[in-house]
Amino acid sequence: MAFLADALDRVKPSATIAVSQKARELKAKGRDVIGLGAGEPDFDTPDNIKEAAVAAIARGETKYTPISGIPQLRQAIADKFKRENNLDYKPEETIVGTGGKQVLFNAFMATLNEGDEVVIPAPYWVSYPEMVAICNGKSVIVDTKIEDNFKLTPEALEAAITPKTKWFLFNSPSNPSGAAYSREELKGLTDVLMRHPHVWVMTDDMYEHLTYGDFTFVTPAEVEPGLKERTLTVNGVSKAYAMTGWRIGYAAGPLALIKAMDMIQGQQTSGACSIAQWAAVEALTGTQDFIPTNREIFQKRRDLVVSMLNQAKGITCPTPEGAFYVYPSCAGTIGKTAPSGKIIETDEDFVTELLETEGVAVVHGSAFGLGPNFRISYATSDALLEEACQRIQRFCGALRD
């Protein structure tokens, strides 16, 4: 009898974590490596948020918290949804988890039965299908196209829905592509969902505040209020507030679903870290002045990276509307020979040879369900990004037919 659970056979390790680990190992051996795999801002957590955490420690806010979060944070979350998304939720219709990942996982755990289908546009965040698999569900992957800027069309969504579909998992702005849906584009999808009342919507809005130019962020239940009673709107403080290590995610949705998620969390981790929750209260209720400043820095980095990558031989890089990733195609390099003598047959070959030859760590697109592409996180300094892109240009220029 096998000792380990069968569920492990259905799950792959995180490719993004693996790339960051490989970069760290090479650095430890003395290699000059630029790691562009990590999905976290390089900014420090703002001082007002850190000070709120220190004050919470001084006040003795160091005990267990309610499973779904401290009342002050749940109220702040309800206020945020009203203020920024025009969504009315009571505090008891919100839940706080140890990062957005736990919130998503608990929602799947609370709802999926064997054979239930989850429609996921590709490219997708690497953890989505793995969570579905652990919870005995079936991911229905729907490819998007580079010419559509990696956005799902209403026709493709319609074709993917079956009587077994339980969830449509939506992420805008997207990790890994940076694609963000306008109100009109999202309305096309919500119109489809209104025709299928058995399908629920799980929307991951983690990159909400990181959109560029004159783009205006919208979320599904805001665009189509008729979907609110079957939508779980997930968000968190990690990206916009540079609080990745604080591990606070949250969601709002129908009370019955929130109660089910609360029950699972109560047997799993219970409440999230008390100090991190008090820091998150300050994040959501305190000054937001730094967000436009950070957004401007990210936009300049995006423009730098897109421009330089499009000058690399065999690379095509669309300009994304949000997040801090680009998702260029490396189709023009497939079939060519790397300086090592290896023929590049896949995007995984491309990123492996790039790391070995030039010391630039990126994540291969097939890990996100759509290739041949690769993901670059531009959440690092201009100098490092410029150097990394020069190395990518040099590597692509050295490939032989």
149 to 32, 237, 245: CA distances (angstroms): 33, 27, 31
- CATH superfamily for domain 6-44+290-395: Aspartate Aminotransferase, domain 1 (3.90.1150.10)
Task: Give the residue among 128, 110, 53, 62 at the shortest CA–CA distance from 266.
Answer: 110
CA–CA separation, 232 vs 257, rounded Å?
A: 8
Q: Are strands 165-171 and 117-122 parallel, antiparallel or unpaired?
A: parallel
Per-residue pLDDT of the chain (401 residues; tens, 9 = 90+): 889 998 888 888 877 777 778 888 888 889 999 999 888 899 999 999 999 999 999 999 999 999 999 999 999 999 999 999 999 999 999 999 999 999 999 999 999 999 999 999 999 999 999 999 999 999 999 999 999 999 999 999 999 999 999 999 999 999 999 999 999 999 999 999 999 999 999 999 999 999 999 999 999 999 999 999 999 999 999 999 999 999 999 999 999 999 999 999 999 999 999 999 999 999 999 999 999 999 999 999 999 999 999 999 999 999 999 999 999 999 999 999 999 999 999 999 999 999 999 999 999 999 999 999 999 999 999 999 999 999 999 999 999 99
Domain limits of the chain? 6-44+290-395, 63-285
Q: Which two tokens stand for residue 111?
A: 């709802």
CATH number, span 63-285 = 3.40.640.10
Amino acid letter, residue 291: I
DSSP 368: G
158 to 153, 180, 188, 370: CA distances (angstroms): 9, 20, 10, 20
Q: Provide φ and ψ at 203, rounded to 5°.
A: -110, 125
Q: Which two tokens stand for residue 178?
A: 């940076």
CA–CA separation, 56 vs 279, rounded Å?
A: 8
